[in-house]
Chain A
Amino acid sequence: MSEQNLSWLDEARALIGHEYGKVYAWDAVNQPMVRQWCEAMGVDNALYLDGVSAKARFGANVAPPTMLQVWVLAGLNGRFPEGSATDNPYEVLQIIERNGYPSVVAVNSEQSYRRYLKEGEKIAFTSQIESVSEEKTTGLGTGFFVTQLLNFYDEADALVGQMRFRLFKFRAPERARPADKPRRPLPGISDENRFFWDGLKDRKLKIQRCTACNTLRHPPGPACPDCHSLASDSVEVSGRGRIYSYSVVHHPTLPGVPQPNPVGLIELTEGVRVVAGLVDVDPAHIEIGREVEVDYLECADELVIPVFRPVGGA
């Protein structure tokens, strides 16, 4: 780590122990919120819900301890009640971000409780940054674990609970871009054509065949136009054929597509025609009638498409 890096990390660590807050709860501990929280979390403990058990034991209804942070969350508008401090407890994250670690993920939180909170109590909290780790590398990337300590107080300023909240502030590794796998417009897949696209993944060019009259047909469809049978299978064909027609496409340009883009209408030896890109050809010298053979181009999104190259080279 360079000197320069150390200096900004020192700036970040200088904030450790600085107390932020106080921030107050919008609402007092209340039974409707407890009931909804229990319902959402699947808690059916009578202590929180029957209105009798807690009173017998504590003299009042109580809230589940794990609701500790619930009472002091900001509303949907992101605001806290009047009188709450407005300082930013996450200054340290901004410093780390400025130095090249834009991503953040919550790692874990640990809570501890001094006592049950009773209905009608209104709590508040303060927070501080407890630690900023050395630079670490995880499966997500490289960055710093930041631990925040939150202290929760009752109206008499007595501590009722604590929470340690740990974040990982990081930058993702430079991913190897799949430059060798062009992203092509995707075909729609249906029951009629799935065999074709699946076959290409196994480096097989398959053509639909009517099992009643043995006629090959492409593009595939549900019925044989010759004998009207709905029964069909598919057969792997030779992958050899001749250029029946072609175009060299210049516009529109598409990412992942050669520029210019020679595309052929190939008449296969078996008699059916397929459209596919032409490779290893000079776009200025493509010949109708030229013998070609199939190859397979792996594209992004697990798409494999057929391409054809001249037999015996360009």
Chain B
Amino acid sequence: MTQQLNGQVAIVGLGATEFSKDSGRSEIRLATEAVLAALADAGIDPTEVDGLSTFAVDNNPEREVFRQIGGKELKFFSRIPEGGGAACGPFLHAMMAIATGVANVVVVYRAMNERSWYRFGAGMQGKAPDPFFETTNFGWYIPHGLVSPASWVAMSARRYMHEYGAVSEDFGRVAVAARDFAATNPAAFFYGKPITLEEHQASRWIAEPLHLLDCCQESDGAVAMVLVSREYAKKLKQTPVFLKAAAQGTAHDQQMMTSYYRPSISGLPEAGLVARQLWQMSGLSPKDIQTAVIYDHFTPFVLTQLEEYGFAGRGEAKYFVREGRHARGGDLPVNTHGGQLGEAYIHGVNGVAEAVRQVRGSAVNQVSGVRNVLVTAGTGVPTSGLIVGAD
């Protein structure tokens, strides 16, 4: 049934602001700039937009973005919860809306002054102890000083190391490869600034076993993309990048980064659920993927995802990265834009943008012969994924 969605919708426009630590302008301005840039890239007039989709945590209301671009009639708008777990969700929603005829031109956007305005890395501090579910749930962690995303991931990463024998250097190999790609990407914050494994090991602890260089950046910036039907895409100026699959997933006994109560905490079953749906919808398998954008807010979960998506056996991603298969010149270059470790942390949407460029053939670290690119989303949370490719 879901196979009918394969290839029905295409990404035809891509826009972004610069990525920085202080954009110097409002989030709504960033969102508007990225959306207008994406529409210009597509060659579609803003008055044609009839759908918008973004993250639940995005601070820019659809109505206001729509007003800023001079939109006329907005028929479809949706938001995906769970922070970075949302990254590919808006594309699934856009795909369904377009394939069912609910909307014709859907723009996905994510804009944030995360670094200059709020900093997720500061964690849960100073929240009033109200009885709402999320607050009571944070209560199992924050009184113990486990207040930040890094600390929540650290608990799972330590168990993963214990069970499978992965070591900190394995996580470091993810960071080194990402920074190597970023070093040759002028749009990356860490352009021209590669790191060595020794530098990774020497970087200060954030939450053991996570070093500073296991953690993604905090960034300001915005990314937007335009989606339309296959038929419409063929009339437009850009080479269409088809959505071959998109999926969301929440698995058994799921929590927001603290799924510590499952029989095993060394996997990411929600990512496995997304993977199965993607392969089923696309009819593809891991060997059909030439390059992947694997969500890298924290390096350990890159290894886990390589396993959940079928690129490595359970517990064997450490060999995958030791052989450099994820790095420049490997058989599955991962995060060729530099990832969120190297390019910017735009909640994974800059990763979707890289996938589009790889399919278009316009990436700065272009992989040869790209037919299909896998993109994953935030991990440890209800998540999402997608596959884009050439026709």
Contact present for A187 and B154 (CB under 8 Å): no
Contact present for A252 and B121 (CB under 8 Å): yes
- Tell me whether A218 is interfacial, beta carbon within 8 Å: yes
Interface of A is mostly: loop
Segment of B69-77, B130-138, B217-225 engaged in the interface with chain A: B130-138
- Tell me whether A53 is interfacial, beta carbon within 8 Å: no
Choose among B131, B136, B137, B147 the residue that contacts A185 (Cβ–Cβ < 8 A): B147
- Tell me whether B142 is interfacial, beta carbon within 8 Å: yes
User: If the complex has contacts A245-B162, A247-B207, A275-B260, are A188 and B136 also in contact, measured as CB distance less than 8 A?
Assistant: yes
Residue of A nearest to B265 (CB): A245
Choose among A186, A219, A248 the residue that contacts B207 (Cβ–Cβ < 8 A): A248
Residue of A nearest to B124 (CB): A185
Q: Using a CB-CB cutoff of 8 Å, which residues 214-272 of chain A contact chain B?
A: 218-219, 225, 244-252, 254, 257-258, 260-261, 263, 265, 272
Contact present for B208 and A187 (CB under 8 Å): no
A283 and B210 alpha carbons, distance in the complex (Å): 14
- Tell me whether B206 is interfacial, beta carbon within 8 Å: yes
A211 and B140 alpha carbons, distance in the complex (Å): 23
- Tell me whether B205 is interfacial, beta carbon within 8 Å: yes
A303 and B142 alpha carbons, distance in the complex (Å): 12
A82 and B238 alpha carbons, distance in the complex (Å): 78
Bin the interface of chain B by size: 35 or more
Contact present for A265 and B148 (CB under 8 Å): no
Contacts of B159 in A (CB 8 A): 244-245, 265, 288
Contact present for A248 and B145 (CB under 8 Å): no
Contact present for B144 and A246 (CB under 8 Å): no
Residue of A nearest to B123 (CB): A252
Contacts of A13 in B (CB 8 A): none
A274 and B139 alpha carbons, distance in the complex (Å): 12
A7 to chain B minimum Cβ distance, whole angstroms, is 47
- Tell me whether A193 is interfacial, beta carbon within 8 Å: yes
Contacts of B144 in A (CB 8 A): 184, 261, 263, 275-277, 305
- Tell me whether A27 is interfacial, beta carbon within 8 Å: no
Choose among B141, B142, B206 the residue that contacts A250 (Cβ–Cβ < 8 A): B206
- Tell me whether A192 is interfacial, beta carbon within 8 Å: yes
Contact present for B261 and A261 (CB under 8 Å): no
Contacts of B136 in A (CB 8 A): 187-190, 192-193
Contacts of A257 in B (CB 8 A): 145
Residue of B nearest to A184 (CB): B143
* Interface residue tally for chain A (C-beta within 8 Å): 41
User: If the complex has contacts A246-B158, A288-B159, are A303 and B143 also in contact, measured as CB distance less than 8 A?
Assistant: yes
- Tell me whether A299 is interfacial, beta carbon within 8 Å: yes
Choose among A219, A251, A258, A277 the residue that contacts B261 (Cβ–Cβ < 8 A): A219
Choose among A188, A247, A250, A265 the residue that contacts B130 (Cβ–Cβ < 8 A): A188
User: If the complex has contacts A188-B131, A189-B131, A247-B151, are A275 and B142 also in contact, measured as CB distance less than 8 A?
Assistant: no
Contacts of B204 in A (CB 8 A): 250-251
- Tell me whether A181 is interfacial, beta carbon within 8 Å: no
Contact present for A288 and B138 (CB under 8 Å): no
B240 to chain A minimum Cβ distance, whole angstroms, is 44
What 0/1 readout, one digit per residue, does chain B (11-38) give for beta carbons within 8 Å of chain A?
0000000000000000000000000000
Q: Using a CB-CB cutoff of 8 Å, which residues 127-185 of chain B contact chain A?
A: 127, 129-133, 135-148, 150-151, 154-156, 158-159, 162
Contact present for B261 and A247 (CB under 8 Å): no
A283 and B154 alpha carbons, distance in the complex (Å): 14
Contact present for B140 and A275 (CB under 8 Å): yes
A263 and B158 alpha carbons, distance in the complex (Å): 12
User: If the complex has contacts A186-B129, A254-B145, are A245 and B205 also in contact, measured as CB distance less than 8 A?
Assistant: no
- Tell me whether A273 is interfacial, beta carbon within 8 Å: yes
Closest 9 CB pairs of A and B: A187-B139, A188-B135, A247-B154, A257-B145, A245-B159, A185-B142, A186-B129, A188-B136, A190-B131
22 A–B contact pairs at CB < 8 A? Answer: A185-B127, A185-B142, A186-B142, A187-B138, A187-B139, A188-B129, A188-B131, A188-B139, A191-B131, A244-B159, A245-B158, A245-B260, A246-B155, A246-B158, A248-B207, A249-B146, A252-B125, A254-B147, A274-B140, A275-B155, A276-B144, A288-B162
Given A190-B132, A193-B139, 11 other A-B residues pairs in contact with their CB atoms under 8 A? A188-B135, A190-B131, A245-B156, A245-B158, A246-B158, A247-B158, A249-B154, A250-B206, A250-B207, A252-B123, A276-B144
